[in-house]
Chain A
Amino acid sequence: MSTVTSASAPAHVAKLSEPRDIGAIVKFVAVLIIALVVISPLFLLFVASLKTDRFEILADMGSFRAFWVSDPSLQNFADIATFSGALPFGRYLVNSLIILFCTVLGGVFLNSMAAFVLAWGRLPGRAVVLTGLIGLYIVPQESIVLPLLSLVNKAGLGDSFAAQILPWMASPLYIFLIYQFFIQVPRDVYDAATVDGASPFRIYWSVFLPLSLPVLATVAILLGIETWNQYLWPLMVTQTDRARPISVGIASFFGHDSVYWNSAMAASVMMMVPVLIFYLAFQKWFVSSFISSAVKG
């Protein structure tokens, strides 16, 4: 639009461009201010985690000192990093990372394998399995956790890593997401591989997996965020510090008479850092992942 005007009436544009630039700058600054205000709680968290006095943290929150730390210290992080103490946050963080790693790795592998068979396999009854999975997708996690807890306890898996990894690895939603990607692969790709006499697993492993990195990344990101932020289930299934994840560890700060805000802030930052690192590295993928999970509904 602007090119048309500049071609027809350059003098006119010269006059117009100035208020326009100012308008653009004003708009930019406005968006920047809104963004900073909206995000400020996260900034406050990082600032507060560098203050060692828990009373100072509370006192500062009500003023502009909340945005500033005069003598930054990593002492809070050093305190919570030890494996001892009332709440061994180092341990919780390691537990969370173990659960995350196993769930995402296993989940991507198992779900994509099943999706491949459902999309391209020759097994009879695939349509039935697929329909069943879509039906199960509607069942919310919240409405099965209590029977599941009783089941897990009976199997002697209570308070274990397995109880936090196995139930959430395979998921109808992620099988369906990958399935939808796989069925869009042209038939020729599959045929070319079968003519070479490759076995189903070989076709999956060396032809379809390399093709489907975008959807695998989507599943890894969604499953990763979901696993990292699990709360209700680990709250019920973990009884000791052995396999307790960091989300439940941080929550146990509350309910005491005095909250150790300095430790709570540092632990919260520790919980955010892994997500932030991945987010900064794969920002575009994160956003598109959440969109593709939405489109499925």
Chain B
Amino acid sequence: MSSQASPMPSQASPGSGRAAYRRKPLIWGGKLQELGMLLPACILITIFLLVPFLSSFEIALTNQRLIPRPVPVRFVGLDNFTRILTDPGFWTALWNVTRFTIMVLPVQCGFALAIALLLNQKLPYRNFFRGLFFLPAITSMVVVCVIWSTLFQYPTGPFNQIVGFLSFGLVGPIDWLGDPNWAMPSIVLLSAWQAYGFQMIVYLAGLQNIPETLYEAAELDGANRWQRFWHVTMPSLRQTHIFVLIITTIQAFKLFTQVNILTQGGPRGTTDTLVHYMFTAGFVDQRLGLASAVAILLFLIVLVVSLVQRFVVRDRR
């Protein structure tokens, strides 16, 4: 349509004349249109991300309730923060999520690396296997909880059968999700199973970037398989390790769904987490101010972990 409307281009100064003729209205119209294209996304992000984020800092300084009460909202200064920091329940939640992170990191990343190494060899139907191993990663955590709660079943579930069989019946049935000692390790196992696929493909991509010549050189030097793994593969994966550890840590600190569904933070608070603590304070108990203070602390933790990543990665480059 635009080309038909152009006035004969073969007059006095063809190129510039044409451009001047149509650029002028277009710059204005074009910029307006660009604004129209950029604004919808920016408005949504402002309303639903920026405003709630900024307002959480304001709410955290008040005694606001989730469902407003007739009494006016009062400014309480840093009361919410002091209340949290002196609440043993908060420290339990923080300790639990730290414990979860420390346990899930080696299990999940180690398993992911092992499977990635397995799939990085010459293997028929490799892509099929990769797809199969990736399946849990696209399975919803809710669905994972349904299956795994039957696996953890007390006293006759599969895990109890396997433990009983391997120990010749010496180790009695364990109430995996109901025993304060076992609830968190059980959540760790389930979480690692659901999420390892992501770390696996990241490791697989990392492994494929290691030049073959490094292995050939190591082989010429007489390095065996084990030595090649420790002195070629592991150092070459350094960047990948850092990345995987950071991402897994951030994910781990947000632990909520499986705890909310399977244990509700129990037994005896041994699986209460930061997000679960925030959810209970803000949604169940309706104390929005208190919960916003927890949300800010959660944000600060994520921020610090991300900044650590920035610096570590920058150092290496």
Binding site for B on A (CB under 8 A): 24, 27-28, 31-32, 34-35, 38-39, 41-42, 44-45, 48, 57-59, 61-63, 66, 110-111, 113-114, 116-118, 121-123, 129, 133, 136, 138-140, 142-151, 153, 166-172, 175, 196-201, 204, 225, 228-229, 231-232, 235-236, 247, 250-251, 253-255, 259, 261, 264-265, 268, 271-272, 275, 279, 283-284, 286-287, 290-291, 294, 297
Contact = CB atoms under 8 A, between A and B. Distances in A.
Nearest to A283: B131
A110 B40 contact: yes
Q: DSSP majority for the B interface?
A: helix
Nearest to A129: B42
Contacts of A264: 146
Contacts of B265: none
Contacts of B256: 142, 231-232
Contacts of A294: 198, 201-202, 205, 243, 247
A215 to B, nearest CB: 16
B262 interface: yes
A297 B26 contact: no
Contacts of A235: 260
A45 B264 CA distance: 23
A115 to B, nearest CB: 8
B278 interface: yes
10 contacts: A38-B193, A39-B132, A39-B136, A62-B153, A114-B42, A122-B30, A142-B256, A144-B53, A150-B59, A297-B247
B201 A62 contact: no
Given A110-B41, A117-B37, A170-B44, A231 B257 contact: yes
B197 to A, nearest CB: 8
Which 10 pairs of residues, A with B, have the shortest CB-CB distance? A114-B41, A167-B48, A170-B41, A62-B156, A147-B52, A170-B44, A197-B2, A143-B295, A148-B52, A117-B38
B66 A150 contact: yes
Contacts of A283: 127, 131
Nearest to A235: B260
Range, interface on chain B: 35 or more
Nearest to B255: A142
Interface of B: 2-3, 6, 22, 26-27, 29-31, 33-38, 40-42, 44-45, 47-53, 55-56, 59, 64, 66-67, 115, 118-119, 121-124, 127, 129-151, 153, 156-158, 160-161, 193, 198, 201-202, 205, 243, 246-247, 250, 254, 256-257, 260-262, 264, 275, 278-279, 282-283, 288, 291-292, 295-296, 298-299, 302-303, 306, 309, 313
Contacts of B135: 39, 42, 279
A48 B31 CA distance: 59
A297 B37 contact: no
Contact of B275 (A45, A142, A247): A142
A136 B49 CA distance: 8
Nearest to A275: B138
A236 B281 CA distance: 13
Contacts of B261: 251, 254
